[in-house]
Structure 1
């Protein structure tokens, strides 16, 4: 496969956490600010990794039907409170916890992301295809200058990736067939799930998403339509 597989694509839909934004460095920075403000001395990089580690288990409870639908902001907050308690941090005011929880609204984009997306927007519909809720995605985009045409993903579909409804309802909302949409992501499992419902797939390399010792998602797996170095490379390949 290759660039020809994307010939009929009208919309590029994007995984966001790790693909568009550097969550690890950003949450570490926010943790440091939170710690200084409240006199809490923790390894904030390790804290960021642990908080992110609760991401999939919290969503799996929704996917499996163990609990009703809940927005990612709410799942993140529950995980944050549990993690702070695990670290012996209690008694903080709700507004302080709420502010730190919204660290996920203040994530920094990868260095080339905004410029690459801006080029791609000239030719394609650009949409999120994220498990992040709408307010989170909008606030992040406003702060970082991410030029989305529309926010799609879990809250619109009321389903968390990799459930097929997330991708299919996104395509439906755009009035497009699945094969007219491509998912751009740094995670092979996300891309394989999208491909199963007819999306075209683009792997983008983010080799330090999980830090310098990252061992997974260092290359596109078989079955992915196209692999690129970053969004500028994708814009070059698509003639934008």
Structure 2
């Protein structure tokens, strides 16, 4: 395997624990409103609207909108689903939507990324907007060299343009880039676009009963335990 020049990373689930952080803010705000709900169920329901919202754009039924906009629309729908529409005003909703900017990195993330950065260009190739990724990186001390992905490409993964335009921004051929993700479908799309691939299992991303992406489902170039193990694979 030729050594890559750059490493691209999925962020939600791969680098950060979105579920616990979103649940914590939902739980806090709901308690302050005097409501009682299953806050993990709320976080899961909000996240479940993520792919369908992006699919409207991928399918050409809607023009591109940043993920911050889609998250807010999905929040409104989730509040309706849980009977909380009248309890959260516009300011509450704006505050709750910022949960996606304050996600906690997995324990190995910052140290692993720092080691990898010593040898490679590292960047998110996420469906998050440039604004969201920038604020999330500041919050979690994620040491990116630059912000790539959907906000730059104006296309949502697994659209190949999300990967290809990110490679082009660094003036690299796809074969010179490795995509790192905890999701087999993300890696399959990256491979189809010509990138190298690395699978990192995050077996509790969706909680203790997770049933998907528990293991590598193809012959990815690298399968690592976590980001620090990936650094060992790549001699960092």
TM-score range, shorter chain: over 0.9
Q: Aligned equivalents of 1:170 and 1:121: distance in 2?
A: 17
Find 2:212's aligned residue among 216, 231, 234: 216
Q: Aligned equivalents of 1:143 and 1:222: distance in 2?
A: 33
- For structure 2, the 5+ residue unaligned runs are none
Q: Aligned equivalents of 1:198 and 1:90: distance in 2?
A: 45
Q: Which residue pairs with 1:140 in the alignment?
A: 136
Find 2:89's aligned residue among 69, 88, 93: 93
Q: Aligned equivalents of 2:13 and 2:80: distance in 1?
A: 26
Q: Aligned equivalents of 1:147 and 1:28: distance in 2?
A: 25
**Aligned pair 1:9/2:34, yes or no?**
no
Q: Aligned equivalents of 1:48 and 1:61: distance in 2?
A: 21
Over the aligned positions, Cα root-mean-square deviation in angstroms equals 0.9
* Larger deviation, residues 140-149 vs 211-220: 211-220
**Aligned pair 1:56/2:56, yes or no?**
no
Find 1:119's aligned residue among 106, 115, 125: 115
Q: Aligned equivalents of 1:186 and 1:151: distance in 2?
A: 19
Find 1:22's aligned residue among 17, 25, 37: 17
* Larger deviation, residues 57-66 vs 216-225: 216-225
- 1:50 Cα deviation after fit: 0.6
- 1:24 Cα deviation after fit: 0.8
Q: Which residue pairs with 1:77 in the alignment?
A: 72
SS at match of 2:142: coil
**Aligned pair 1:189/2:191, yes or no?**
no
SS at match of 2:16: coil
- 1:77 Cα deviation after fit: 0.4
SS at match of 2:179: strand
Note if contact 1:8-1:179 (Cα within 8 Å) is conserved in structure 2: no
SS at match of 2:123: strand
* Larger deviation, residues 68-77 vs 82-91: 82-91
- 1:35 Cα deviation after fit: 1.0
Q: Aligned equivalents of 1:225 and 1:47: distance in 2?
A: 36
SS at match of 2:128: coil
Q: Which residue pairs with 2:32 in the alignment?
A: 37
Find 2:164's aligned residue among 145, 161, 168: 168
Q: Aligned equivalents of 1:165 and 1:206: distance in 2?
A: 26
Instruction: State the Cα deviation string for residues 193-239 of structure 1 (Å, max 9, x = none).
Output: 00011100000011111111111111112231110000010011111
SS at match of 1:184: strand
Find 1:46's aligned residue among 41, 44, 50: 41
Instruction: State the Cα deviation string for residues 173-204 of structure 1 (Å, max 9, x = none).
Output: 01100001000000000001000111000000
Q: Which residue pairs with 1:68 in the alignment?
A: 63
Q: Aligned equivalents of 2:64 and 2:197: distance in 1?
A: 28
